[in-house]
Amino acid sequence: MTISSPVLRNSMRLILPLTLLYALYAMLKGHNEPGGGFIGGMIFATAICTYRMSHGFAAQLRLMPIHPRYLIFLGLGMALGTSAIPLLFGYPFLRSAVGEFHLPFSAHPFHYASAMAFDLGVMLVVVGVAVGMITQLSEELE
């Protein structure tokens, strides 16, 4: 279903990149603060579905050429891998490694955790499921 509103189509040029950037921010900050992979994935999927409503299915395929099913498989693999890798080193399941490194353009170190990779996997699963469901439902309506 395409909404033929020129205002929505033109405003998506600004809304889409800002929404995707905010989804990434919510996903990255989620291991220490509210947010995480699920919230980031829902924000990301909302942006993709809004883009589809304004520009149509063909534009969504150009924006996201990967089938949602592959996002789900990739996300599940990432989440399982990052949660099971600590077992190889004698640590408990879902143990998170943490650290920090200095970026050349920042005075403050960047704090990272392996939970970020887990959150990225969750985000990919959520985006794949949400976009896949919207795609399936809209195909049935058309």
Q: Does some domain include residue 1?
A: no
> Which sign, positive or negative, has the C-alpha torsion 103, 78, 70, 124?
negative
Of all residues in the chain, what percent carry a pLDDT higher than 70? 95
Helix or strand run (H / E) with residue 121: helix 115-141
User: What pLDDT sits at residue 123?
Assistant: 95
The answer to whether 61 and 108 have CB atoms below 8 angstroms apart is: no
Cα–Cα distances (Å) from 121 to 54, 124, 141, in that order, read 28, 5, 30
Helices (H) and strands (E) in the chain, counts: 5, 2
User: What pLDDT sits at residue 3?
Assistant: 65
Is the pLDDT confidence value at 77 over 60? yes
User: What pLDDT sits at residue 108?
Assistant: 83
The answer to whether 8 and 54 have CB atoms below 8 angstroms apart is: yes
Q: How many distinct structural domains can be found in the chain?
A: 1
8-state DSSP, 92:
P
**Which residue range(s) make up the domain with 57?**
6-141
Of all residues in the chain, what percent carry a pLDDT higher than 90? 47
Q: Does some domain include residue 96?
A: yes
pTM: 0.85
Closest CA to 8 of 59, 42, 43: 59
Q: Please give the distance of CA 81 from its chain centroid, rounded to a whole number.
A: 17
The mean pLDDT value for 81-93 works out to 90
Q: Does some domain include residue 122?
A: yes
Q: What is the pLDDT of residues 97-108, one digit of tens each?
A: 888 888 788 788
The mean pLDDT value for 124-130 works out to 96
Q: Does some domain include residue 13?
A: yes
Q: Does some domain include residue 135?
A: yes
Q: What is the rounded CA–CA span in Å between residue 30 and residue 37?
A: 7
